[in-house]
Structure 1
Amino acid sequence: MFGTVRTLWALMVVFGHLFWLSDFGRFAVFGFYTLSGYLMTYVMHNSYGYNASGRKRFALNRFLRLYPPYWFACLISFVLLLVFATQMPRGGFSTIALPNNMLSVFGNITMVFAHWIPHSITPRLSPAAWALTVELFFYVAICLGISKTFKRTIIWLSLSLLFIGFSYAANLYWHARYFSIPAGSLPFSIGALIYFIVKLEKIPQGLQCLLTRPALILISMVSISAIVAWLIPQGINPALVELMFYLNMLVSALLVLSLAMGNSISNKISKGFDKFVGDFSYPIYLLHYQVSMLASVLLLGEVSKFKDAFNLGALVLVCLGLIAISLLVIKCIDEPVEKIRNAIRHNTNKPSPSTKATLN
């Protein structure tokens, strides 16, 4: 059931970036991180192992999953820049611009935006790619063994909490607790911990009843996100916003835990359909700005965000455009590459006890 949830989180990001509920997507990003922490720890333990061969196969598989669709998204942005370059800044898309030096070229090719707050680096041909820099950092950390054992994961989680505490003590702006690489450490470490909670059957007794109802957890997560995002422009206390943000992160973690335990959001959603829906999440995330630009030209006659011009027509056109371009990515890029990924994933047996991580 992870696929449906991934795409829902991607759509929350789309709605927050493009339409009037600006902070809606903020609550989804840490859900992505938590799920990634769980899944990457899971595959390192169960598919690859921690020997040199396993690490190489993990790295190659991640490369093939992330980069071909990303480069396609950058290509689309490049074409749009050639056509609409003068309209980008005034249309609210100033982040999308041609790289102006070698470091910028490197960042836009590799998704490695070299700053502890990657969001601060511009231009970005795929604006949401700052979060992929955070993802890549923790993919490397997990590959190197930061979540190889339960004890390491607890230490990692503790250090993550220390950073959050330090950020408040040092009076850092909330950007440091959201956009930065260290900020991503907390949800990633929670996701890794979820792997061990399920593996060791350390599920708290008091949560077991709730965890059998992932649909209820999902509704709670979306509701908290929507209500707080709506209240932010009304002047809600920033401290309360941050409190609700971390509460929502924990609700997202409960959702990941529930699904990792094998619970289903709905028995009407088959595994095949869940995977089909989940395949849309990454292209939606990479390409929603580009699709919105094209939709605004068709509806408004110029490149513009729909923040102040939200209507049903804009929503439908953006959604249809995202479905169409995502299908193109899935059929022409993801599916051919997936055959290579499967070959890499299965070219050796599962990790042997000597190379597989222990639970100590």
Structure 2
Amino acid sequence: MFGTVRTLWALMVVFGHLFWLSDFGRFAVFGFYILSGYLMTYVMHQRYGYQASGKKRFAFNRFLRLYPGYWFACLLSLLLLLAFNHYFPLAGFSTIAIPNNAASLLGNITMIYPSWLPHSITPRLSPAAWALTVEIFFYCAICLGISKTLQRSLIWLALSVLFVIASYIVDLYWHARYFSIPAGSLPFSIGAIIYFVVQQNQVPNSWQIVLKRPAAILLVMVAISGFTAWQINQGLALITAELLFYLNMLVSALLVLSLALGHSLHNKISSGFDKFVGDFSYPIYLLHYQASIIASVLLLGEVSKFKQHFSLMALLLVGLILMLLSLLVIKCIDLPVERLRKSIRDKASGQFNATN
């Protein structure tokens, strides 16, 4: 029952990027990392296995999940750059522009921005795709076995904590603890640990009173995110903001653990509806800047985000355009590709079960 949460997190990113509370979506990104750490460890253990054939099927399945929708988002950005050329501000709009250097061209084609700080490479046709470079890096690490055993996962977690501590000791700016590839190590490793906690039934009974209420955990997560993002705009000290950020990461980990244990946000949310809602999360994440470009031209006569021009009409129009674009991706790209992905999963599961 992860689909609804994924889409809510994607909407947090949209709201932070396009409207108000710029830092709001950053809390959701680390939630995505935790969830990915759990799910990728789960499928490697339960579906693909660590034989060469299983690793290849995992890699191909991930490719099919990520790249078709991503390339559509990049193509749409290129079309908007051509169609709305005169509406773009001279200084550019966020990071969306024609790639003009080798690193940007490589990153926009492969989704792998070659830097330890992927967000530093611009232009990016799908601006939020820098985080997918982090995701792909740890998909590869998990496929190669970094979370193959609990012992390895605990070592991974310890090294991740050491990186965070070291980043403070050497006085790295907070960007290193958020935007960098090593920054993703801590939430991904926490997600891997969650897999073993669930599989080995090691959840303390005293935690159940909290874990049985994932909706309440989600509300706490959103509340901490919103409060911290609001206070940052009011001059909140950076160290306090970072402490709240890591506190919120632990709350997100509790939410993933709760859902992994089979608890539901609401007893009336069916698995089918949850999957339907979850299908929107990835296209929403990839396409929200493009939706903002179209909406801002229609409402403002220029390409702009709505941080200085927020209105209910802007919110509704961006939401409508984003839903239509997402439906287009789901119906025309994701569903046809999903049939191929399912066949790969079925073959992998069959071979995995036969081997074990």
Deviation at 1:288, TM superposition (A): 0.1
Is the Cα contact below 8 Å between 1:3 and 1:275 reproduced in 2?
Answer: yes
| Match in the other structure for 2:2 | 2
- For 1:202 and 1:85, the matched residues in 2 are separated by 57
Q: Counterpart of 2:289 in 1: which secondary structure?
A: helix
Cα distance in 2, alignment partners of residues 187 and 7 from structure 1: 19
Instruction: Note if 1:117 corresponds to 2:117.
Output: yes
The amino acid across from 1:127 in the alignment is P
**1:190 counterpart residue number:** 190
Name the counterpart of 2:352: 351
2:87–2:297: 8 Å Cα contact kept in structure 1? Answer: no
Does structure 2 conserve the Cα–Cα contact (< 8 Å) formed by 1:146 and 1:156?
Answer: yes
Aligned-pair CA distance for 1:101: 3.1
TM-score by length of 2: 0.97
C-alpha contact 2:106 2:112 (8 A) present in aligned 1 = yes
1:240 and 2:240 matched: yes
- Aligned pair count reads 355
Deviations 1:216-268 (A, max 9, x none): 10110011101111111101111110000000000000000000000011011
The answer to whether the Cα contact below 8 Å between 1:225 and 1:248 also exists between their aligned partners in 2 is: yes
Conserved 8 A contact 1:88-1:96: no
**2:37–2:189 Cα contact (<8 Å) kept:** yes
**Aligned partner of residue 140 in structure 2, secondary structure:** helix
Measured against aligned partners, the alpha-carbon deviations of 1:6-64 in whole angstroms (never above 9, x if no partner) come to 00000000000000211110110000000000000000000100000000000000000
The Cα offsets for residues 178-235 of structure 1, whole Å up to 9 and x where unpaired, read as 0000000000000010000000111133312100110110110011101111111101
User: What secondary structure, in the 3-state scheme, does the structure 2 residue paired with 1:262 have?
Assistant: coil
1:71 maps to a residue whose letter is W
8 Å CA contact 1:91, 1:303 repeated in 2: no
Q: Is the 8 A contact 1:228 1:241 kept in 2?
A: yes
Bigger shift: residues 92-101 or 190-199: 92-101
Verify the 8 A CA contact 2:146 2:156 in the aligned structure 1. yes
Distance 1:114 1:128, change over 3 A: same
Counterpart of 2:22, as a letter, is S
Bigger mean CA deviation after superposition, 217-226 or 101-110: 101-110
Q: Give 1:81 deviation, angstroms.
A: 1.0
* Whole-Å separation in 1 of the counterparts to 2:338 and 2:292: 28
The aligned amino acid for 1:212 is K
2: distance between equivalents of 1:190 and 1:107?
Answer: 27
RMSD of aligned alpha carbons: 1.3
CA distance in structure 2 between the partners assigned to 1:288 and 1:52 by the alignment = 37
| Equivalent in the alignment of 1:20 | 20
2:165 — aligned with what? Answer: 165
The answer to whether the 8 A contact 2:160-2:185 is kept is yes
What does residue 108 of structure 2 align with? Answer: 108
Q: Tell me the equivalent position of 1:179.
A: 179
For 1:295, the equivalent position in structure 2 comes to: 295
Query: What is aligned with 1:134?
Result: 134
Q: Which residue of 1 aligns with 2:252?
A: 252
Q: Which one-letter code corresponds to 2:36 in the other structure?
A: S
Q: Kindly indicate whether the alpha-carbon contact (under 8 Å) linking 1:126 and 1:286 is maintained by their aligned counterparts in 2.
A: yes
Letter in 2 for 1:232: I
Cα distance in 1 between the residues matched to 2:249 and 2:92:
29
Displacement of 1:352: 4.6
* Amino acid across the alignment from 2:31: G
Runs of 4 or more, structure 1, over 3 Å off, are 85-92
Q: Deviations over 1:283-329 (max 9, x none)?
A: 00000000001000111111111001101000000111111110000
What CA distance in whole angstroms lies between the structure 2 residues aligned with 1:213 and 1:112? Answer: 37
Structure 1, unaligned stretches of length 5 or more?
none
CA contact (8 A) 1:4 1:274 kept: yes
Matching of residues 16-55 of structure 1 within 5 Å: 16-55=16-55
**Distance change >3 Å, CA 241–CA 85, structure 1 → 2:** same
Identify the residue that residue 148 of structure 2 maps to in structure 1. Answer: 148
Give the letter for the 1:82 counterpart: L
